[in-house]
Amino acid sequence: MAGNECAEQTPPLDSRSILLRKEILRVLEHSRRGHLGAAFSLVEILRVLYDDILHFKSTAPDWPARDRFILSKGHGCLALYVLLAEKGFFPREELERFCKPEGILGGHPDARKIPGVETSTGSLGHGLSAGLGMALHARMANAPHRVFVVLGDGECNEGSVWEAAMSAGKHRLSNLTAIVDYNKMQSYGSTAEVQNLEPFADKWRSFGFAVREVDGHDIAALREVLRAAPFDRDRPSAVICHTLKGKGIALTEGNPAWHHKSRISDDELRSLYDGIEDTPCVKPV
Amino acid sequence: MRQACLNAVYELARADDRVVFIGSDLGVGTLAAFRKEFPERFVMEGVSEANVLGMAAGLAMEGHIVYVNTLAVFLTRRAFEQAAIDIALHNLNVRLIGNGGGLVYAPLGPTHMAIEDVALMRAVPNMAIVAPADAREMQRIMPLVHAQEGPVYIRLAKGNDPIVTSEDEPLAFGRPVCCRSGADALILSTGITLRIALEAAELLAREGAEAGIAHCPTLKPLDRDALAHAMQPVPAVVSIEEHVLSGGLGSIAAEVIAETPWRRPKRFKRLGLPDAYPSRYGSQADLLKFYGLTPEHLAEAVLSLRDNTGSG
C-alpha cells in the first residue's frame, strides 16, 4: 500500500466520525486556535483505540492494569481531548476552556493536569521512548497490559524516534505498538518534499518491528488491524495508518494552511461548519 | 568516586526492588555483579542518550527509581530536552549519573568536558544537583539522593580523588557543610574544589589568615539561609568551582550575597572557568592549573580580598 492510495478509497465517514469532528469544531469555536489538520487526520485512529482496543477506567485513570496510551504527536490533542471527554475522563465543559488560563487542556497535552494523559507531549520525538520504558516495566512486572504510541509522520524526522525504534526492536517488546498517522503533510508542505520518509514501512521493519499498513480512516479496517496486534509475539508492532490531513472537510483536506491556525475568524468557522455539513455521512460501522 | 557511586546503586538495588539501572554503552564489565544478580533491572542501551532518558522517564512513571549513567556532557547537553521535559517536568525519580564533571576528560577535548553542566541542570525546574568531593562523600550522599522525590543530577569527579571529607561532618541534602571556620574569609567549594580549598586554607593559616570553608556537595536545592549564615561573620567570600563562572556555585553565592541585607558589604570573588571552551589538552590537573584553580591562586585571591576589605 503506497502513497494516498488507500485514503482515496476510504469509505464515507460515519455519523460518529462526523460528530467527533463537530465536537472539535466546537472547541475551536471557543478557543479560535488549534492544530485542526493534525486532529482531523487522527479521529478514526483514536476513536477505534478508545472504542475497541484500549482497556481503561475513566473514573480511575491510574488503574494499574490499564493499557498505556501516548499521543506522541501532541499537537493532535484536539481529537484526544474530545475522546477523553466523551469517555468521561473529565467533564465535556472542560473542552470550552481549551487554552484558557483556568483550563486543564492546553495546545499540547500536559500529564500533570489531564486525567488519562500518561506523559506530556508536544515536543516531537519523545513519546516512543517513554512508551518503551513503560513497556519494559510491564514486561519486568509480568503485567499483561500493553502500550500504544501514536506518532506523526513529520515527527518521524526526529532522530530520537529511530533511537527508540532501534531499542524497541532490540528488546523485542511485543507489548509495544507504534501507530503512525501518515497523512503525508507536515507544517511546511508534503512529507515527500520536506523530508521523504519512504520506504517508510521498510524502515520500521528494518528496525525490528512487525508492520501492517491500513487506511487510517476506515473504521472496520483499523479495528481489524489493531485487534490483530501484536502481529508477532517476538517483535514490537508498527501500524502505518494512511490518512489525509484535515480529513472530513473539503476546505481543510490536504491543506497545509490548516496545520495550525490561530485567530480563527467567524467566517472561517462558518466555512468549517458548512463544510462538515456537506461531508457525505453514513451510519456508524 | 564513580565506583563508589555505582557500588551504591548496586547496594540500593539490593535493598529496593524499584531500582533500575540504564547505561548508555558504558565500559565493558560495568556493574557486572548488578547485572548478574538483577538482569531484568540492568539495561545497557546503545549510544542513544535521548532515548535512554525517555525510557528512564517511562520506567519512572511506572514507579521505578531509575539510575542512568553515561558521560556528563551527553546527559546534560545532548539529551537536555529529555532531561527537562520527559523527566523534570514530571518530577520523576530519575538519577542522572554524569561521568567526568568539569575538566576530567581534558585529554579528550571540549566535546567531553562538562564545563557548563551545573548551569544547564540548575536552570531546569525540579532538578536537584549533587557534586561530592570524594568517594567517601559520594558513598554518604547516595542514600540521601535515593530518598529524594524528583530528579537528581549527580556530577562525578575523576576517580581516585584524594579523600578529603570526614565521616564526622553532618551531611544533609541541600545543606552546605561547614568544614572549617575562620574569621577572615569564607571559601565556598563544590565537588573536588574542596581539596583545593582545604589546601588553600592551610597556606593561608601559615600567612596568619584564617579562612573558613563551606562546602556544597548539593548545589540544588541549597539552603540559602545556611549559606548566608556561614558568610555572616566574615568580610570576604571566595567561591571556587570546576565550571564556567556563569550559573554554578559562584552565581549561587553572588545571588545570596546580593539578596542578603548585610550590615557591612561583603567582598566577593568567584574562581572558576572562563566563558570559553577549553583550548588545551593535558590532564585535569594541568587544566586546573592553567585556569588558576589551585590552592596557591585561591589563597592569593583570599588575601587580596582581605587586604582590600577595609578600603571597600
Measure B192 CA to nearest chain A CA, in Å.
34
> Mean pLDDT in chain B?
96
Q: pLDDT tens across B153-209, in order?
A: 999 998 888 999 999 999 999 999 999 999 999 999 999 999 999 999 999 999 999
Q: pLDDT tens across A230-279, in order?
A: 999 999 999 999 999 999 999 999 988 888 888 999 999 999 999 998 88
pLDDT reading at A36 higher than 70: yes
> Can you give the CATH number for the domain in which A32 is found?
3.40.50.970
A 127-146: CB under 8 A from B: 128-138, 140-141
Query: Do the Cβ atoms of B116 and B244 come closer than 8 Å?
Result: yes
The residues spanned by each domain of chain B are 2-155, 177-309
Any idea which residue has 536537584 for its cell?
Answer: B128
Which one of B17, B25, B49, B51 would you mutate to disrupt binding with A, by most A Cβ within 10 Å of its Cβ? B51
pLDDT reading at A161 higher than 80: yes
- Provide the pLDDT for residue A6: 47
Query: Do the Cβ atoms of B282 and B107 come closer than 8 Å?
Result: yes
Which SS3 state, helix, strand or coil, does residue A34 take?
strand
| From A119, A135, A167, residue closest to B45, measured CB to CB | A167
Any idea which residue has 540521601 for its cell?
Answer: B144
Q: What is the mean pLDDT of residues A139-149?
A: 98
Work out how many CB contacts closer than 8 A connect A with B: 92
Cα dihedral sign for A181, A185, A188, A191? positive
- Give CA–CA dist A157/B308, Å, rounded: 59
pLDDT reading at A7 higher than 60: no
Q: Do B61 and A119 touch (CB under 8 A)?
A: yes
- Provide the pLDDT for residue A47: 98
pLDDT reading at A185 higher than 70: yes
Which one of B48, B55, B59, B87 would you mutate to disrupt binding with A, by most A Cβ within 10 Å of its Cβ? B55
Which SS3 state, helix, strand or coil, does residue A74 take?
helix
Edge to edge, the sheet with strand B218-220 lists: B42-45, B19-24, B65-71, B94-99, B152-155, B128-130, B218-220
- Give CA–CA dist A80/A109, Å, rounded: 9
Q: How many domains in chain A? A: 1
Q: pLDDT tens across B26-79, in order?
A: 999 999 999 999 999 999 999 999 999 999 999 999 999 999 999 999 999 999
- Provide the pLDDT for residue A200: 98
- Which chain B residues contact residue A125 at CB under 8 A? 50
Measure A133 CA to nearest chain B CA, in Å.
4
pLDDT reading at A283 higher than 90: no
pLDDT cut 70: percent of chain B above it: 99
- Which chain A residues contact residue B62 at CB under 8 A? 133-134, 137-138, 141
The fold adopted by the segment(s) B2-155 is Rossmann fold (3.40.50)
Q: pLDDT tens across B81-102, in order?
A: 999 999 999 999 999 999 999 9
Nearest Cα to Cα of residue B76 among B127, B28, B20: B127
- Give CA–CA dist B37/B13, Å, rounded: 10
- Which structural domain range is residue A129 located in? 5-59+66-282
Please give the residue that has the higher pLDDT: either A283 or A158. A158
Measure A110 CA to nearest chain B CA, in Å.
9
pLDDT reading at A94 higher than 60: yes
Q: pLDDT tens across A14-30, in order?
A: 999 999 999 999 999 99
- Provide the pLDDT for residue A10: 75
With bands split at pLDDT 50, 70 and 90, how would you rate the model's confidence at B228? very high
- Which chain B residues contact residue A123 at CB under 8 A? 81, 85
- Which chain A residues contact residue B59 at CB under 8 A? 133-134, 136-137
Domain B177-309: assigned CATH number: 3.40.50.920
- Provide the pLDDT for residue A8: 54
